[in-house]
Structure 1
Amino acid sequence: MSLKGFIGPNREDEERYIANGWWRNVTFCDVLDEAAGEYPDKEALVDKELRLTYTQLCQTIDRLAENLVDLGIEKDDCVLLQLPNWAEFLFSFYALQKIGAPAVLTLPRHGFREIDHFSRITRAKAWILPEKYHNTDYIPVIDQVLKSNPTLKHIIIVRGKENNSYVSFEKLLNGTTLNRLHQIPVKRPEPSDVAFIMPTGGTTGLPKAVPRTHNSAICDAWYRTEARDQGKDDICLLSVPLEHNLGLAAMNGTILTGGKLVFLDSTKPEDFCDTVRKEKVTCAPLVPTLLSRLVNFSNLDKYDLRSLRALYVGGAKTPPDVIRAVHNRMGNIYITAFGMSEGTGCTTRLDDDQNIILNSVGKPCCPYDDYRIVDDEGKDLPINTEGELVVKGPSIFFGYLNNPEENEKAFTRNGYFITGDRASIDEKGYFRITGRSKDIIIRGGENISPTDIEEMIRNHPKVEDVAVIGIPDEEFGERVCAYIKTEGSIAISLSDITEFLKDKGASVLQLPERVELIDEIPLTNIGKPDKKLLKEEYLGRRER
């Protein structure tokens, strides 16, 4: 693999994973071709009025792959993929797999700073994105990114107007006839190549880039679907972001098992329920925020949701009251889906008792991943003792892209990934997440770096010091709150801060939703902002 800055597995682990069958040693293009060969006339995809069988899906993806090659995209060229839950995401993802071009997954909500960052560290050659989505006009962002990224040669616009400056996705999708397909040489990837690069929130700076090979990502998706008994007869509804592992693993796992995918570009509970009713959906990944909206939906009982047998809920901790409400209003369909972009995954099972579902994240999806609870010196801790959760195995990534400093901190000396979660394990092998050892805010399933927001706010001319924390929120789990000390104690408003951050290219996720003015930022005994004290102070005032 010639992707600069990529760290692969060591040879011994690679040979062991393949020899034991934990890695199937196939690529995502092999997986899609296998599904089309086994289920040629079976419906594979639904997106509003669009319906495709597996044969039609493969033909569509092959046309797009050939046209991307014709455009000048070659094996190992990274391509930014920034799309909502549209069928075009699936077409693009698998077309890039066919030609061995890693997909760099970026959220529709990512702004200039994140896109510029990922374009630089991956040396992206193309960018697939909408012209507009909801209230976001991407054209000004495109112009900004192009100025600082000379390697970015092709802007491919999805569902947009004709424009001489950009490439039309629709023309790429429909412009090749199958008779011409094999005139352009296509270099298929190897199972050890990078299939995609996923963003993950960190404690410092911009999001880190997580490269996943075909082998490790297919292993991850396969064991997740197996642990949840997902099969060829399942119909999976995708309404969560596909740029995160919760949605992407569900999408790929459904292709792996020959099931059907239904795309939903909406977070409204009525749209979710109507789609389940119409398409007889059997399973769906969700984040707690969307689940809470669903179970509190006043018209929930008016929809026939009897086909729905499982909801995989992850991205953040689900409040116990919401889990109980699911059980009472929708039946025994709740499954905890704990995981990270880096590949770690635990899940509860439908036959687990409610105490396990309420108080644990279940057991590892991949039985061959080695999960350990260790102390500060890396020594294994006894059963039911809280410590650091570390993991190593065939479904886990091997290191962040072009980030040697972070990789030095992310792994133990014997190669275990340090998750940043505090956890314990009980006598039966169930894991319980007890806290975080990393400074991260989780809002609606999205990991947000407080440090990155602090660095931007400190550049405001009125700000002397700042500490950003997550404050509890019933709908989103946490919201972003900035404690600010101003120069000379002058007043500053929330709108002052948000407008300043927007001008600096901050994404919607990085905008504080509350500002607290403070005379002095409290410090710990090592001179860092005492965020625990700030949270206690906020909670104390809220309870009074």
Structure 2
Amino acid sequence: MLDGCTPWPETLAARYRAEGYWTGELLGRRSGDTGLAARTAVVTPDRTLTYGRLDLAADRLAAGLGALGIAPRDRIVVQLPNGADLAVVCLALFRLGALPVFALPAHRAAEITHLVESAEAVAYICADRDLDCDHRELARQVLARTGSLKHVLVAGDPGPFTALADADADPVGLPLPDPEDVALFLLSGGTSGPPKLIPRTHADYTYQLRASAALCGVGPHSRYLCALPMGHNFALACPGVLGTLRAGGTAVLAPAPTPEECFPLIERAGVTVTSLVPPLVPLWLDAAEWTDSDLSSLALLQVGGSRLDPATAGRVADGLGCALQQVYGMAEGLLNFTRPGDPEEEVLHTQGRPLSPADEVRVVREDGTDAAPGEVGELYTRGPYTLRGYYRADALNRLRFTEEGHYRSGDLVRRTAAGNFEVVGRTNDVVNRGGEKVPCQEVEEHLLADPRIVSAAVLALPHPLMGEQTCACVVFRDAEAELTLRQVQAVLRERGAAAYKLPDRLVALPRMPLTGVGKIDKRALRDGLAD
């Protein structure tokens, strides 16, 4: 396995092979179905690709990237909006054996610099412009701060860089990677500082695709709408875009998760399944009452990323005319799903049960003993698709993994008598803002970099739509230095922080409450704000 990654013990690896979890399948390979070439693989608002055209485009891009000197195991930071280019890039990198590091659309210079440095990436693939960002200017900043980047490839107008379309060459034979080697890197939620890199292998990720597609009934006739950013594990592989393409279905890629963008695509492409985070569900339900789009093809709505409140869950069947599936998982591995045919009470109130028979899960009390059904504890897990360690993070791995190899998720859960999980919170300091994880410590460090702020504490407050909102409590140096919320948000933007990490609320205090050992007392802050 790639240096800096932790392999599974051979005893477990041998078991996963023998029991059929790891099969030797590679990501991005053709199915061998000669009748597939003419079928529709990818649909976007302005483009349609058959499997034949998708395969050819991926083969040509793989050859073009190889001609630039990009080699197997080279790390490539990929930050592209949902679209045909992103689908082609994914398949091309898998076939070349280069390793995509999936950045999110909201990431800016601070996050991309961190990813490039952490992965020692040799290339950055981005759009020319997306949302409010000129990624060519962002790339210029990252190049100035890092030393490993050799290539910037831009989808669209490349400016001073290389056009992604120019990385094109006649297809060539490529060596096959080891199925049990790393295939891609996902990002941790960044619960304590910048995100960590999660290595996923061909073997474990293809198993996740197969098992989740089978559970969700995704097959050749499925039409999966990717409304969330495709770089998220949820939209990429639960079963997501990759699972749908592997099954011979159609991936429908929306540029944004709004009803205005998605509803016409649902009608046009006959979408059968899609995935949302909880804050989007009431927006879709409200919009469904007045839309002219025909949503009758939609059969399944997956909801995950944070807890969906039961009242909203109960509106899905009537409001969207489809079944609801709650999904609770993590980019690190373990996935939990409610199943078709589960009692309504379980679908509305729980976040599902493990995907695989080989998932080994413990719910652990603070004293280290196993919690009984109905008791709250931290979820520990290991299995054939759960990582054994973050990339190049030995110190962190000693904290986050037990000696037996269980991943300490940091999630506080309650297991029902039927085996389903109810997620009740987090053990660490993070704001779960509509499924986006905002690391409090990182935001505090950005705030404290401004000389006008002498003390800062970031914490989560309840929010009816987002689940949680980010509140920044600060002590300014003096009255003349006091900033408004918009000014504080501008400070973070100037430091390159992603938009979802900007505080939603600002509270100015004369002093911070402290614990007995002199730390900021966040519990006292929350209690005071609640009062």
How do residues 378-397 of structure 1 correspond to structure 2 at under 5 angstroms? 378-397=368-387
| In 1, Cα distance between equivalents of 2:33 and 2:253 | 19
In the comparison of the two structures, how many residue pairs are matched? Answer: 528
Give the counterpart letter for 1:532 in structure 2. Answer: R
| In 1, Cα distance between equivalents of 2:307 and 2:517 | 30
TM-score (norm 2): 0.95
SS in 2 for 1:296: helix
CA apart distance, 1:470: 1.8
In the alignment, structure 2 segments of 5+ residues that lack a partner are none
1:461 aligns with: 451
How do residues 176-187 of structure 1 correspond to structure 2 at under 5 angstroms? 176=169, 180-182=170-172, 186-187=174-175
1:170 aligns with: 165
| In 2, Cα distance between equivalents of 1:459 and 1:114 | 16
* Partners of 1:35 and 1:256 within 8 A in 2: no
Give the counterpart letter for 1:391 in structure 2. Answer: T
SS in 2 for 1:297: helix
Closer, same or farther: CA 354–534 of 1 in aligned 2, 3 Å: farther
CA apart distance, 1:510: 1.9
SS in 1 for 2:64: helix
Give the counterpart letter for 1:232 in structure 2. Answer: P
SS in 2 for 1:288: coil
CA apart distance, 1:432: 1.4
| In 2, Cα distance between equivalents of 1:38 and 1:14 | 35
Give the counterpart letter for 1:224 in structure 2. Answer: S
* Partners of 1:200 and 1:447 within 8 A in 2: no
Moved more, 214-223 or 406-415: 214-223
1:495 aligns with 2:486: yes
| In 2, Cα distance between equivalents of 1:288 and 1:350 | 20
Alignment match of 1:478 (pick from 435, 445, 468): 468
* Partners of 1:211 and 1:401 within 8 A in 2: yes
1:277 aligns with: 267
2:189 aligns with: 201
In the alignment, structure 1 segments of 5+ residues that lack a partner are none
| In 2, Cα distance between equivalents of 1:103 and 1:373 | 33
| In 2, Cα distance between equivalents of 1:336 and 1:106 | 25
Identity %: 30
1:108 aligns with 2:105: yes
CA apart distance, 1:526: 4.9
| In 2, Cα distance between equivalents of 1:527 and 1:15 | 51
Closer, same or farther: CA 345–38 of 1 in aligned 2, 3 Å: farther
How do residues 241-320 of structure 1 correspond to structure 2 at under 5 angstroms? 241-249=229-237, 250-297=240-287, 299-300=289-290, 302-320=292-310
Closer, same or farther: CA 525–308 of 1 in aligned 2, 3 Å: farther
Closer, same or farther: CA 499–302 of 1 in aligned 2, 3 Å: closer
1:448-506 Cα distance to aligned partner (Å, 9 max, x none): 10100001111221212111012222332222210011224653321332222222222
2:57 aligns with: 60
SS in 2 for 1:29: coil
* Partners of 1:157 and 1:169 within 8 A in 2: yes
2:325 aligns with: 335
CA apart distance, 1:247: 0.7
1:452 aligns with 2:442: yes
CA apart distance, 1:301: 5.5
Closer, same or farther: CA 225–75 of 1 in aligned 2, 3 Å: same
| In 1, Cα distance between equivalents of 2:56 and 2:366 | 53
1:352 aligns with: 342
1:219 aligns with 2:207: yes
* Partners of 1:294 and 1:300 within 8 A in 2: no
1:366 aligns with 2:356: yes
TM-score (norm 1): 0.93
CA RMSD of aligned residues (A): 1.8
2:134 aligns with: 137
* Partners of 1:36 and 1:58 within 8 A in 2: no
| In 2, Cα distance between equivalents of 1:159 and 1:276 | 27
1:42 aligns with 2:39: yes
| In 2, Cα distance between equivalents of 1:400 and 1:343 | 12
Give the counterpart letter for 1:487 in structure 2. Answer: R
| In 1, Cα distance between equivalents of 2:265 and 2:390 | 37
2:217 aligns with: 229
